[in-house]
Amino acid sequence: MAELKYTDTGRLLFTKEMKKDYTLLCPMMLPIHFSLFIDVFRNCGYKVELLQNDGPAIVQEGLKYVHNDTCYPALLVIGQFIDALHSGKYDLDHTALIITQTGGGCRASNYIHLLRKALHKAGMDQIPVVSLNLSRLESNPGFSITLSMLRKVIAAVAYGDALMALRNQIKPYETHVGDSEALVKEWVDELCSQFKLGKGLGLKAEKENLLKIVHDFAKIPTQTIQKIRVGVVGEIYVKYAAFANNHLEDFLFDQGCEVNVPGLLNFAIFKVDNRLEDIKLYGGNPFKFGAVSVLFDYLTKMQNILTEAFQSEPKLEVPTPYAKVKELTNGVIGYGDKMGEGWLLTGEMLELCETGYENIVCAQPFGCLPNHICGKGMIHRIKTLRPESNIVPIDYDPSATMVNQENRIKLMLAVARENLQKKAAQSDQKK
């Protein structure tokens, strides 16, 4: 066991010695994206494992160590960690945990402190917690984010968005069940192989890869059948993590829907753009503005490459670029609204309505005030602007039952089917 070292404030450090033989456990949120992220960390010399444990035990473990009135995503993330540590699979004297820390006004900034409190309560004080952040909130001698690592992670975000969007567009219509999922796995393996060789990371290489990915999915045999098109928005964790939203995407697929879940790249650009908007609104360091602008431009160039790849296949729906989403919210909600998902949540609902996914599930933790304001609180305004919108807000927390959630979604789908039938009837009359 490595010698335990602490900061002056008593925080346990993840040391250089620990990097050699400690396993870093990472919580699950986006299976495709996080599989690529984990490979990036491994290529940088870290022993990282993506947690796959699921089920009611996670909620129960979370309730034991986190107050039930706290943020539901925090309860789930901490519950998944504690459940894994209690599984007997890991040597607790050679295990560490890694978790993101934004530093913003969202309660997510406090996950890391709640996690350390939970570890203390569980008698696991010897387990270091590594903060993954770009805000210089915490540092550890054995873990650092380099420009090379950041570049690989950004590339993984773009690839992950492409694979997720393509799977969701093709899966409901595929002639041979399982073709799209198999192709996702094939490309994840291929990209991980490229990352190990330092390939697939430059904008030129990404363009080539994304074009190949898009063309491969476009070749999958599909049926021409009509499906209800549903968009999923909400708090980032509950929106993406399957066990947080009770496997919402699978449920919608089983109900005969095509699902559109806006990608992670727009959220990343949104977080960078917030720094620029802060300086525009409140003033700030011009050098910081210049540095952040460079990152913003790089992310935008990457998104343009992703957009062009989708545009090369007319049968595919092109993911909406960040600039368009921002334009849609102009005059609807202020750009200074940035807590949680901020104005982007409203923008994503407007984006989905514009692209034909007007049936929307807004997934939000019960106690998440920013999402209740920018999600549920904006439904009336969105309905005024887009009368065709059919939005249902669904609360997720330990006391919410899956039956109630699914019944509310089914009511939304019933309205969607009626609207679809009306459109078909009107189309027949015109003919």
H, E, C per residue of 148-203: HHHHHHHHHHHHHHHHHHHHHHHHHHECCCCHHHHHHHHHHHHHHHHHHCCCCCCH
Using CB atoms within 10 A of its CB, is residue 178 exposed (0-12), middle (13-18) or buried (19+)?
Answer: exposed
Question: The tokens of 407 are what?
Answer: 């019944």
Rounded to whole angstroms, the Cα distance separating 352 from 361 reads: 11
Task: Count the neighbouring beta carbons within 10 Å of the beta carbon of residue 69.
Answer: 10
> pTM above 0.75?
yes
Give the bridge partners for 98, in sequence order: 130
- CB-based contact 164:261 (threshold 8 Å): yes
**Banded model confidence at residue 1, pLDDT cuts 50, 70, 90:** low
**Beta bridge mates, 49:** 25
Percent of the chain whose pLDDT exceeds 90:
71
Residue 111 in contact with residue 80, Cβ under 8 Å? Answer: no
Q: Could you give the CA distance from residue 199 to residue 79 in angstroms, rounded to a whole number?
A: 36
Q: Which two tokens stand for residue 93?
A: 């004297």
- DSSP assigned state of 377: G
Distance CA(64)–CA(76), nearest Å, equals 11
Q: Does residue 318 surpass a pLDDT of 90?
A: yes
Segment 199-228 shows an average pLDDT of 94
Residue-level pLDDT at 262: 96
Domains in the chain (CATH in brackets) are 16-144 (3.40.50), 226-262+320-431 (3.40.50)
Q: What is the DSSP string of 249-312?
A: HHHHHHTTEEEE---HHHHHHHHHHHHHHHHHHH---HHHHHHHHHHHHHHHHHHHHHHHHHHT
- pLDDT at position 427 is 67
Rounded average pLDDT over 108-136? 88
3-state secondary structure of 84: helix
Tell me, what's the pLDDT at 104?
A: 64
